């Protein structure tokens, strides 16, 4: 592995960019998780399955209804979000007064059900989804597929917009207030339960959007989410549970770190995030951007 230490700087530059692209997926997924945890206090283990549903949604829209990628980009997250809201209304809602543990276990069970059903229906080896933006640009130091460039930009826009809405707008201030003191906010005449439902739907929608974005790049398969979810958890914990900015910055940052590990010590690239998580939790238990409670 050490002969790679001497790789030329432009190749390193390429790897950094790739890390950023992967970070885009982490950022969108951890953002959704962070929003849900921040407002519902639920650790949404179904997130990976919802990401997978987003990708399958895109596939189904294309193959059953003939709706291309750009339409699926909007429709699939909407559908998954609605399913998410139904889950929130019927199952999750009963658990808010209990320990975090129960929310985690319930969503874990849901993830198993969803994954099992998709495997049953579509098999396990996955389905193809064509790249909507074939071709690429030669940046000099690397060949950047157009689609990957689009993913980074799209995800940055979505992440920043979410951050802006939650931290800088009136709606966001209601949301944040409802997290702290739901009873008070309710007393001001705001429908907190509905707000929570919509927030869950939004978080889930973000996961599904990431799924649609992933469909052309990765294989659309029932296991695509469960392979990712544990890593995304780690990202959220490192960023600080419930911290919006933390999730975004950590998502991109860890993508880059993982990318570099893939060059210097590829065998460890799936573990490096956990090493960082353990260190961060030791030094700063609330996460890099979290506030200690």
Query: Does 20 contact another protein by CB under 8 A?
Result: no
Each residue 94-133 as x (binds another protein by CB under 8 A) or -, in order, gives: xx--x-xxx-xxx-xxxxxxxxxx-xx--xxxxxx-xx--
Residue 264 CB contacts under 8 Å (≥ 6 apart), including other chains: 1, 4, 5
Residues 20, 29, 62, 148: which binds another protein (CB under 8 A)?
148
What angle in degrees, to the nearest 10, is found between the helix axes of 47-65 and 69-90? 130
Residue 213 CB contacts under 8 Å (≥ 6 apart), including other chains: 24, 25, 28, 73, 151, 154, 155
Residues 195-234 interacting with another protein (rule: CB under 8 A): 217-219, 221, 223-224, 227-228, 230, 233-234
Q: Which is nearer to another protein, 185 or 241 (CB)?
A: 241
Q: Minimum distance between the CB of residue 263 and another protein, rounded to whole angstroms? A: 7
Q: Which is nearer to another protein, 24 or 61 (CB)?
A: 24
Each residue 25-64 as x (binds another protein by CB under 8 A) or -, in order, gives: ------------------x---------------------
Q: Which is nearer to another protein, 186 or 223 (CB)?
A: 223
The residue written with tokens 């990708």 in the block is 55
Residues 252-281 interacting with another protein (rule: CB under 8 A): 259, 262-263, 266-271, 274-275, 277-278, 281
Tokens of 82: 């609605």
Q: Minimum distance between the CB of residue 102 and another protein, rounded to whole angstroms? A: 5
SS3 call for 164: helix
How far apart are alpha carbons 146 and 138 in whole angstroms? 10
Query: Does 5 contact another protein by CB under 8 A?
Result: no
Query: Does 12 contact another protein by CB under 8 A?
Result: no
Query: Does 186 contact another protein by CB under 8 A?
Result: no
Q: Which is nearer to another protein, 73 or 185 (CB)?
A: 73
Query: Does 173 contact another protein by CB under 8 A?
Result: no
Longest distance between any two alpha carbons in the chain, whole Å: 65
Q: Which is nearer to another protein, 114 or 166 (CB)?
A: 114
Backbone angles phi, psi at 138, to 5 degrees: -90, 115
How far apart are alpha carbons 285 and 288 in whole angstroms? 8
Backbone angles phi, psi at 127, to 5 degrees: -130, 150
Query: Is the distance from CB of 45 to CB of 108 less than 8 angstroms?
Result: yes
Q: Minimum distance between the CB of residue 180 and another protein, rounded to whole angstroms? A: 18
Q: Which is nearer to another protein, 68 or 123 (CB)?
A: 123
Tokens of 138: 């030669």
């Amino acid at each position: 592995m050490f002969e790679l230490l001497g790789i030329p700087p432009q190749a390193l530059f390429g790897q950094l960019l790739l890390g950023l692209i992967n970070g885009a997926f982490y950022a969108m997924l951890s953002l959704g998780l962070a929003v849900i945890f921040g407002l519902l206090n639920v650790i949404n283990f179904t997130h990976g399955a919802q990401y997978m549903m987003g990708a399958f949604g895109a596939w189904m829209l294309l193959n059953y209804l003939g709706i291309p990628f750009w339409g699926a980009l909007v429709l699939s997250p909407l559908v998954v979000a609605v399913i998410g809201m139904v889950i929130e209304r019927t199952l999750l809602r009963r658990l808010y007064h209990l320990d975090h543990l129960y929310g985690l276990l319930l969503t874990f069970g849901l993830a198993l059900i969803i994954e099992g059903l998709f495997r049953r229906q579509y098999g396990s080896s996955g389905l193809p989804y064509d790249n909507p933006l074939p071709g690429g640009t030669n940046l000099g130091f690397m060949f950047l597929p157009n689609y990957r460039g689009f993913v980074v930009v799209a995800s940055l826009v979505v992440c920043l917009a979410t951050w802006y809405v939650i931290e800088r707008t009136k709606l966001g201030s209601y949301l944040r207030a409802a997290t702290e003191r739901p009873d008070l906010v309710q007393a001001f005449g705001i429908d907190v339960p509905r707000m929570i439902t919509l927030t869950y739907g939004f978080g889930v929608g973000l996961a599904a959007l990431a799924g649609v974005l992933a469909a052309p790049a990765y294989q659309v398969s029932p296991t695509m989410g469960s392979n990712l979810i544990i890593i995304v958890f780690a990202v959220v914990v490192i960023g600080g549970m419930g911290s919006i900015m933390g999730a975004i910055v950590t998502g991109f940052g860890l993508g880059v770190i993982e990318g570099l590990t893939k060059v210097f010590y590829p065998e460890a690239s799936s573990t490096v995030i956990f090493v960082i998580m353990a260190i961060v939790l030791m030094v700063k238990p609330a996460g890099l951007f979290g506030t200690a409670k």
